[in-house]
Amino acid sequence: MAIPTPATTAAAAGSSAPSSRTLTDHRRMRPRRWFTELGWRHVVGVVAVVYAAFPLVYVLSASLSENGTLTGSNTLFADVSGANYAELGTTMFWTWMANTLVIAVATSVGTVLMGAAAAYAFSRFRFAGRRIGLTALLIVQMFPQMLAFVAIFLLLLGLGNVVPVLGLNSKIALIAVYLGGALGVNTFLMYGFFNTVPRELDEAAKIDGATHSQVYWTIILRLVAPILAVVALLSFIATFGEFIIARIVLTSESNWTLAVGLYGWVSSLREANWGLFTAGAVISALPVLALFLYLQKYIVGGLTAGSVKG
C-alpha cells in the first residue's frame, strides 16, 4: 500500500475543496441583487434620517440668526450669534422652564404611583368587576382629555370659589387635571408587565410574613422598574409639551408653562419673535433629551416585556 505524502494530501485536498477565489466569487453579490436585497434599506434609512433631521437643523440655524425671522434662515448658518440665547435671560423664559419642570415631574411621579397601584391590583387580585374595570379604562382613554376642556374650565372656576388652590391659575390644579387622565393606557402597559412577574415570589414573601404592602413596595416595584421608567418618560414628555389644557387653566404670565409662553412670542404675526422662539425651543428640548438618554436602557425592555401576557 502506498503511504500518502504531504504533497499528495495537499494535492488531493486542493482538487476537492473550492479555492479561495471561488468562495470570494460566491460571496460577492452583483450590484443589482445587492440593491434589491440590502441596498434599498440603506437608501430608505438615509432619506428618513435627512427628513427627520432637517427641521431640527433649520430651527437650530434660526436660533443662531440675529435677524429673528425664519425667512432669513433660508441659508443655513449664514450668520452665527448667541444674541437670541442671551436675550432669553431678560424674559420670563426660565420662570416658565421652572414651572414646566415642576408640573411635568409631579405629574410623571403621580402617574407612576397611581398606574402601578392600579396595575398591581388588577394583576394580583381577583374581584368582581375586574374585567369590566379594565375595559372601562381602555374605553375612557380613547377620548382625549382636551375634549373636556370646557367642562374642566367650568369645574375649576366653581371649585376655585371653595378651594382657591384648586381653582384657575393654579399649578396644583393643572397637575390634578393631568393626573385625572393618568390611568388607562399606562395601567394596561404596567398590567402586562406585572403579569410577567411570577406569583410564586408573592407567595414566598407572604409565607415569610410579608404583607401585601411590603410585597408591593420592596419586591414587585423593584422587579418592574423598566416599565415604571417607560411610563414616567412618556408622561413627562406628554406633560412637558401639552398646550391646550395649560393655556386654559393658567391665566397669569408668571404661571405659564413653556408651551404657553413660547406660543405667546409668535401668536401675533406682526410682532412674532421667531429668534427667541427657536432659541427657547432648542433649550426646552434639552431636559427631554437628557431624560430620554438616561432612561433609554429601560425603554425597549419595558415595552416588549409589557406586551407579554402572563
Q: What is the mean pLDDT of residues 88-115?
A: 94
Q: Among 204-208, 270-274, 288-292, 301-305, name the one with the lowest average pLDDT.
A: 301-305
- Which of 6 and 62 is assigned the larger pLDDT? 62
Q: What is the mean pLDDT of residues 289-302?
A: 79
Q: 3-state secondary structure string, 129-186?
A: CHHHHHHHHHHHHCCCHHHHHHHHHHHHHHHHHHCHHHCCCCHHHHHHHHHHCCCCHH
**Residue 309 predicted with pLDDT over 70:** no
Residue 69 binned pLDDT confidence (cut-offs 50, 70, 90): low
% of residues, the chain, pLDDT over 70: 85
**Residue 297 predicted with pLDDT over 70:** yes
Nearest to 273 by CA among 285, 284, 261: 261
What confidence tens digit (pLDDT) does each residue in 137-148 have?
878 777 777 788
What would the grid cell of residue 7 be? 504533497
Count of CB atoms within 10 A of residue 192's CB? 19
Q: Exposed, middle or buried by CB within 10 Å (0-12, 13-18, 19+), for 306? A: buried
CA separation (Å) from 41 to 45, 231, 279? 6, 32, 35
Q: Which pLDDT belongs to residue 80? A: 82
Q: What is the mean pLDDT of residues 37-59?
A: 88
- Do 155 and 177 meet the contact criterion of CB atoms below 8 Å apart? no
**What pTM, to 2 d.p., does this model score?**
0.80
- Do 236 and 291 meet the contact criterion of CB atoms below 8 Å apart? yes
Residue 27 binned pLDDT confidence (cut-offs 50, 70, 90): low
Distance CA 62, CA 282 (A): 10
Q: Exposed, middle or buried by CB within 10 Å (0-12, 13-18, 19+), for 7? A: exposed
What would the grid cell of residue 137 be? 379604562
Ranges for all domains in the chain classified under CATH 1.10.3720.10? 92-306
- Do 254 and 92 meet the contact criterion of CB atoms below 8 Å apart? yes
**Mean pLDDT over all residues of the chain?**
82
Q: Which pLDDT belongs to residue 28? A: 65
Count of CB atoms within 10 A of residue 177's CB? 22
**Residue 103 predicted with pLDDT over 60:** yes
What confidence tens digit (pLDDT) does each residue in 55-64 have?
888 888 888 8
CATH number of the structural domain 92-306: 1.10.3720.10
Name the residue type at position 118. Answer: A
- Do 175 and 103 meet the contact criterion of CB atoms below 8 Å apart? yes
Q: Which pLDDT belongs to residue 185? A: 74
What would the grid cell of residue 292 be? 430620554
